[in-house]
Amino acid sequence: MQLILDKLKLRYSRRNTEIVKWKDNTGGKVIGCLPMYFPEEFVHAAGLLPVTLFGDNGPIAHANRHLMTNACGAVRGTFEDLLLGKYDALDGVAAVLICDQVRFFFQVWSLDHEFGFFHQMWRPFNIDQSSRPFLLNELKRLKSALEEFTGNAITPGKLCGSIRLFNETRSLMRALNDIRKTRPGLLKASDLVKAIAAGMIMPKEEYNSILKELITQTRDSDYESGEKPKVMVCGHPCGMPEEEILDLIEEMGAVIVGDDFFTGSRYFSVDVPCSGDPVEAYADFLLNLIPCTTYHYPQNWIGQDRSLSTYGDYVADYVRENGIQGVILLREMYCDPFDLEFVMLKRKLEERNIAHITLNTGHEAGSLETQRTRIQGYLEMLSC
């Protein structure tokens, strides 16, 4: 089991050389997709390999000269990799404009570095049925752009085939996640997020067969779970959470049994419907994802009661339904959507009597030692 996890982690850590290797072996083209919610299935159906672009969590030197230094770590880390030439092998890049920072960053990118394929997909921020026609139109625009770039028609049959393949990936990821819920501690959270992230950079056909073997070996493990406080970790809407923090939380005596990471539940919780017109089905999928801080829920901003938080309700329900004792919020510095939701989220957790702690994370978040002291105090409180 650990051998497979280590191999997946290695594939993730060598993600940029993986692209070069794949291109050399297949002669195919690769499209880099910024997190989150990019319709990768459309890219796959056009005969291309979609890979998610994860910025590095390491020091930022060059990107700070091009972008505001209060841009979030996900944006600056990705731009740093671009400036270091790590994306030179890509044939194109694409993004859903999930927040103002991505929109701004992508426009700078379009001026700085041209690619053969460069596509920005707009997304309605209000999630209700009134947004559906706009969303559908954006999906059709993406489909046409990919067809023009490749010369390949994205037929309903091809798109359905890609959707089925990606649904299988999501279903396998959910199965792995279920094991960590039912056998707490068997899978380290830092291993799991990287195993999930590996699936976003590898061809799904290969990844799915590796994941099936991992699930079999994990189920066969004779590991016995102990009695540790169970926590859910939320935050980092679209970047990779820091391995050191996840490890610290678990080394100090808690066990992470739930998350709300892009490299976690946010990626695999919902499948795309497989019936009817696949473009229409994809629009419905995007409208029915689990609540997210990057979406606006219009009902939360109307009337006197401003304590509504669709996202907060989702987190609180998840905690209660899974017998979780507390929530650790990883507040990535300079992430506007998370900051805007933060007050309502905290209020919701307080209303529902859910113990929580907030840790600032990101490139300038400070030392791990400070986090250690805070986590220790929080876990002692949970154990009382």
Residues within the interface to ligand SF4 (CB under 6 A): 72, 74-75, 98-99, 101-102, 237-239, 294, 332, 335-338
Distance in Å, CB of 82 to ligand SF4, minimum: 14
Integer Cα distance of 384 and 380 in angstroms: 6
Distance in Å, CB of 4 to ligand SF4, minimum: 29
Distance in Å, CB of 9 to ligand SF4, minimum: 22
341 DSSP assignment: H
Distance in Å, CB of 237 to ligand SF4, minimum: 4
Instruction: Compare residues 271 and 336 and give the one whose CB is closer to ligand SF4.
Output: 336
As given in the structure block, the two tokens for residue 375 are 């986590």
Instruction: Compare residues 250 and 341 and give the one whose CB is closer to ligand SF4.
Output: 341
Distance in Å, CB of 20 to ligand SF4, minimum: 26
Look-up of token digits 């390999």: 49
Instruction: Compare residues 350 and 364 and give the one whose CB is closer to ligand SF4.
Output: 364
Instruction: Compare residues 51 and 74 and give the one whose CB is closer to ligand SF4.
Output: 74
Distance in Å, CB of 210 to ligand SF4, minimum: 28
> Within 10 Å of residue 13's Cβ, how many Cβ atoms?
13
Distance in Å, CB of 362 to ligand SF4, minimum: 9
Strand locations in the chain, DSSP E? Answer: 30-33, 49-52, 92-96, 117-121, 230-235, 255-259, 326-332, 355-361
Instruction: Compare residues 199 and 235 and give the one whose CB is closer to ligand SF4.
Output: 235
Integer Cα distance of 344 and 361 in angstroms: 20
227 DSSP assignment: -
Instruction: Identify the CA nearest to 54 among candidates 262, 258, 333.
Output: 262
Distance in Å, CB of 361 to ligand SF4, minimum: 10
As given in the structure block, the two tokens for residue 350 are 């307080």
What are all long-range contacts of 12-20, with beta carbons under 8 Å and residues at least 24 apart?
12/54, 12/194, 12/197, 12/198, 12/201, 13/194, 15/51, 15/54, 15/201, 16/81, 16/86, 16/87, 16/89, 18/201, 18/202, 19/49, 19/51, 19/89, 19/90, 19/201, 20/89
Instruction: Compare residues 75 and 254 and give the one whose CB is closer to ligand SF4.
Output: 75
Instruction: Compare residues 79 and 378 and give the one whose CB is closer to ligand SF4.
Output: 79
How far, in whole angstroms, is CA 301 from its chain's centroid?
26
Instruction: Compare residues 78 and 371 and give the one whose CB is closer to ligand SF4.
Output: 78
Beta carbons within 8 Å of 70's beta carbon, 6+ residues apart: 334
